[in-house]
Structure 1
Amino acid sequence: MKAPSSPPSGESPIERDSKSPVFAAEFKDAVTLRAFGLVLGGLLVQLAFIVSYVGAFHSPTPHRIAVAVAAPQQASAKIVAQLNALSDDPVKATAAPSAETARQWVLTRKTDAAFLFDAAGTKDTLLVASAGGPSVSQTATQIAQKIETAQKRQITVSDIRPPNAGDGRGMTSFYLVVGWVIGGYLTATIMGMAAGTRPANRQRTLIRLAVLAVYAAVSGIAGAAVVGPVFGALDGHFWALSGIGALVVLASAATALALQTLLGLLGTGLVILLFVVLGNPSSGGVYPAPLLPAFWSAIGQALPPGAGTTLVRNTVYFSGHAVTSAVWVLGAYAVGGAVLAWVASWRNERRHPNAPATEPETLPEPSPAG
């Protein structure tokens, strides 16, 4: 009986098979151009994530922190000029007619801090509101202490609006909004995936928007319950936070639905780019706008994470002051996303006129006889 021949050149059967035409065909089928594009897209999103977060947070530098100055007229003009002449523009000083006005400017978010000059002595006061961003309050304090030491004066810092005891570093607003935003676009994405590969039509889009609106309302109430009654971080504003949450979730979900209906898988990537890669680091949750580089500072309040964080913080801690632009931004994403989703589905209908309006019914296969 003839013994089987051994593989040439000492190759194992596995190595030999890996070079066979079958393996090559399998490899070609597995590593398609689409698969390569998806992997490349994932790599680009990953790098964008790293660049965005490191770029925003690696070196926080104060830039034009708004400060009110309350002092006698002659001293006020001199102090304002000195502050505005500081190298690299760390603060933007504005004269306030009185100490009480300067205090109100801080509480209504017109300024981040207030400098009260003591004309009769050498002990001045700096008013801050760390609930609006502890890092800005700390930076303003450091700048004031440095200037006062150079002038041989003393400064007393008074935090007139600190975060709640359960809010720690004042980050609850940011974490709450991040959860709402992620929940909104993930739910829209899951609904789109559940529909398969067929293009969405107008009727299905309206149904999805209605479901997302209900989900947004439930999500808003759930989030408000977690930060309020459950953990006591943002107590006393349950229904206001519920409404804000519904608006944030609907803005995120409607925008995601629109981009995914319009662009397919590319739309999902664009949603992640806008809301996570760019939106989170620029939101002001970790470092408020005066400490961020120019690019992130400029875009932060134009995206749902930033607008939502500002809306929650200013509602809870500052009696709803300075929230108008945030409401308009979120409303624009919610309404604009819904309209764009409907228009994109109408375009799909025109491009795919023979697509069924509803899911085809699947009949059970007949059981074998016997």
Structure 2
Amino acid sequence: MAAQHSAQRSPWPRVGAIVLLLTALLSLIMIAFAWPATRSTVHDIPLAVAGPPPATAQVVQQLQANRPGAFEVTTVADTAAAEALIKDRKVYGAIDLTTGHPQVIVASAASPAVAQALQQVAQALGQSGAGAPVVRDLVPLPADDPRGAGLAAGALPLVLGGIVAAGLLTNLIAGIGRRVAGALAFAITGGLALTAILQYWLGSLEGDYWTNSGVVALSIGATAFTLLGLEALLGAAGLGLGAAVMMLLGNPLSGLTSAPEMLPSGWGAFGQFLPPGAAGSLLRSTAFFDGAGSGAHLLVLSAWAVFGLLLVGAAGLRRAGTGRGTPTPAAERETVSAA
């Protein structure tokens, strides 16, 4: 009996290997979430400067000297042109010199973090002797959520929604077609529910409820379909790989808590090609900017959804070619028990 009990114990090298694996995994999670947050800074932020050429040239030179690399400046002739660029999501804000007294125009709905950085620019302009500029919020956040906390916190549920849906459907539902139908239905109901919470309860969103719900639904569906397709082709390894990419790369690189341009160089742009980043930017566009600048993000989400469905279709064709159907969860359990 003692020998049998001893034989059931795992060898110490295996325990040590698992401990090292867990340590590496925990370190990877820490890097994925903490690195973008701690290295976030103002660089390459699109900014407009409006006014006569001599005045704009002086301000541009001052910005380049005081904060090199912080802004990508576009000069325009007047206030209307600067405001148009902000509303079209071409720039995050503007320095308006057309009246002779500097005015800083921000859009906190585009990014509270960038709006705060532009207010610091306004203070610096005031200290330079031009007088304290007036700061005007052209596209403010809702009064019920002036810091944008609800939208920033919504990044994680958007990612988890698709991951949890794929995981549960894979383990509890037999049949690829039924899994896809379940993911589609959940994307719709989840989109309606999450948007209702953000828009009507927390007051974090504005704009058309149905359009915003469609964005959230497309985000959930893009993630869920992709993970279902990976699982159908590669099994549990595919599901785990897809979940890791969405959670450890997509979520921290989404830029939803700050702005893509504030993340470490290149990573913010990369994050916009993953569902969480594209969904966050698209939701800002539909909620606060009448859909301006939404085309690229809509294309990214749609491409991920189609990619996932193509993977599902490829897995179905492979099963048909080999003459194997999708085993039901009950059959799988019976097989394991029999073994």
Task: Using structure 2 for the length normalisation, give the TM-score.
Answer: 0.87
Which of these residues, 18, 21, 41, is aligned with residue 3 of structure 2?
Answer: 21
The percent of aligned pairs where both chains have the same amino acid is 30
- 1:155 match: 133
- Cα deviation, 1:330-370, whole Å, max 9, x if unaligned, reads 001101111012213433555xx3645554988xxxxxxxx
Contact 1:256–1:268 (Cα < 8 Å) also in 2 = yes
Structure 2 contact 52–98 (Cα < 8 Å) conserved:
no
State the aligned residue count.
331
The one-letter amino acid of 2:271's match is G
> Residues 258 and 340 of structure 1 are in contact (CA less than 8 Å); yes or no, is this contact kept in structure 2?
yes
CA contact (8 A) 1:66 1:92 kept: yes
Q: Secondary structure in 2 aligned to 1:89?
A: coil
Partner of 1:241: 212
Which of 282, 287, 297 does residue 258 from structure 2 map onto? 287
- Select 1:100's aligned residue among 52, 71, 80: 80
Q: CA deviation at 1:327?
A: 0.3
Q: Quote how far apart the aligned CAs of 1:115 are.
A: 0.4
One-letter amino acid of the counterpart of residue 29, structure 2: F
Pair 256,174 (structure 1): closer, same or farther in 2 beyond 3 Å:
farther
Q: What is the deviation of 1:269?
A: 2.6
1:312 aligned partner: 283
Deviation at 1:292, TM superposition (A): 1.3
Distance 2:324 2:82 in 1: 64
Q: Distance in 2 between matches of 1:183 and 1:65?
A: 31
Letter in 2 for 1:194: L
Q: Which runs of 5+ in 1 are unaligned?
A: 1-16, 363-370
CA displacement at 1:90 relative to structure 2: 0.8
Closer, same or farther: CA 192–360 of 1 in aligned 2, 3 Å: closer
Decide whether the 8 Å contact of 1:189 with 1:260 is kept in 2. no
| Corresponding position: 1:110 with 2:67 | no
Classify the secondary structure of the residue corresponding to 1:62.
coil
Report the Cα offset of residue 271 of structure 1: 2.3
Q: Whole-Å Cα distance in 2 between the matches of residues 57 and 324 of structure 1?
A: 27
**Quick one: distance in 2 between partners of 1:321 and 1:82?**
31
Query: In structure 2, how many angstroms separate the alpha carbons of the residues matched to 1:222 and 1:71?
Result: 46
Measure how far apart 1:273 and its partner are. Answer: 2.2
2:42 maps to 1:62: yes
Post-superposition shift, 1:36?
8.5
Separation (CA, whole Å) in 2 of partners of 1:224 and 1:66 = 29
Aligned match for 1:133, one of 111, 121, 136: 111
CA contact (8 A) 2:50 2:96 kept: yes
What letter corresponds to residue 128 of structure 2 in structure 1? A
Residues 308 and 330 in structure 1, CA contact (< 8 A), matched pair in contact too: yes
Which one of the candidate residues 25, 32, 37 is aligned to 1:45?
25
- Aligned CA RMSD, in angstroms, stands at 2.8
In the other structure, the counterpart of 1:214 is 185
Gaps of at least 5 residues in structure 2 are 332-339
The Cα of 1:152 is off from its aligned counterpart by: 4.6
Residue 332 to residue 228, structure 1, CA distance change in 2 (3 Å): same
Q: Look at both structures and tell me which one has the larger radius of gyration over its CA atoms.
A: 1
State the 1:168 CA deviation: 3.5
1:67 CA displacement:
1.0
CA distance in 2, matches of 1:316, 1:361: 44
